[in-house]
Chain A
Amino acid sequence: GQQLNQSPQSMFIQEGEDVSMNCTSSSIFNTWLWYKQDPGEGPVLLIALYKAGELTSNGRLTAQFGITRKDSFLNISASIPSDVGIYFCAGSTGTASKLTFGTGTRLQVTL
């Protein structure tokens, strides 16, 4: 099935550093979501975006809905060890029914 392209695929960063990751699609979406998944658990919703150009923050996390509606970006400021996990973007073209997920970005934080 289709998956959105996320980059980077994985990253090692030091505690306190800022992190940037992005997600691109060949199709237009009208909703972008960012989830974090820890081992053995389901994805947890971090940020939801509903309008092209929208910039939304949730604590140290900031995400943007790309103007073209084909991409989205997630930034994490001042990373901490509990930020470790896999981050997934997901897009929806219509209702909340069907989400198309990205390939994931694995984040590892060193002290």
Chain B
Amino acid sequence: DAGVTQSPTHLIKTRGQHVTLRCSPISGHKSVSWYQQVLGQGPQFIFQYYEKEERGRGNFPDRFSARQFPNYSSELNVNALLLGDSALYLCASSRDRDRARPQHFGDGTRLSIL
């Protein structure tokens, strides 16, 4: 089975622009989470969606939003981009919200803000 797929793999934007990142979970996985990984640090939790509803939100500004579609794929949107938004954005999926079913990550989208 295919793993978590994310697109695009790389993206360059300028300050003030808007960006949309996409994620397709592993087949059969209903939960999708988004993480931001700044260079040299561990991933930071942004959002979790399960059954198309937001189930958790990290400490990120309202410029960050996300949604999950009926096929369980997800989009992460970031408005009014800042230089500090430059990071690797990771998507992770799990079969459900059960802690015994850990998350599996995609290879991420590398976002660079100029």
Q: Which residues of A contact B (CB under 8 A)?
A: 1, 3-4, 30-31, 33, 35, 40-45, 48, 50, 88, 90, 92, 94-104
- Minimum CB–CB distance from B91 to chain A (whole Å) comes to 8
| Contact status A3-B41, CB under 8 Å | yes
Q: Which residues of B contact A (CB under 8 A)?
A: 4, 31, 33, 35, 41-45, 48, 50, 55-56, 58-59, 90, 92, 94, 96-108
Cβ of A1: which chain B residues have Cβ within 8 Å of it? 44-45, 58-59
| Contact status B42-A33, CB under 8 Å | no
- Minimum CB–CB distance from B64 to chain A (whole Å) comes to 13
Cβ of B58: which chain A residues have Cβ within 8 Å of it? 1, 98
Known contacts A42-B107, A43-B90; A96/B43 CB under 8 A: no
Known contacts A42-B90, A42-B108; A96/B41 CB under 8 A: no
| Contact status B100-A50, CB under 8 Å | yes
- Complex Cα distance A69/B50, Å? 27
| Contact status B42-A97, CB under 8 Å | no
Query: Do most interface residues of chain A lie in helix, strand or loop, or is the interface mixed?
Result: loop
| Contact status A101-B44, CB under 8 Å | yes
- Minimum CB–CB distance from B1 to chain A (whole Å) comes to 15
- Complex Cα distance A43/B108, Å? 10
Task: Identify which of B35, B98, B105, B107 contacts A96 (C-beta below 8 A).
Answer: B98
| Contact status A102-B42, CB under 8 Å | yes
Cβ of B45: which chain A residues have Cβ within 8 Å of it? 1, 98-100
B95 to chain A: closest residue by CB: A96
| Contact status B42-A96, CB under 8 Å | no
| Contact status A96-B56, CB under 8 Å | no
Cβ of A99: which chain B residues have Cβ within 8 Å of it? 33, 35, 43, 45, 92, 103
Task: Identify which of B42, B59, B103 contacts A88 (C-beta below 8 A).
Answer: B42
Cβ of A95: which chain B residues have Cβ within 8 Å of it? 55, 97-99
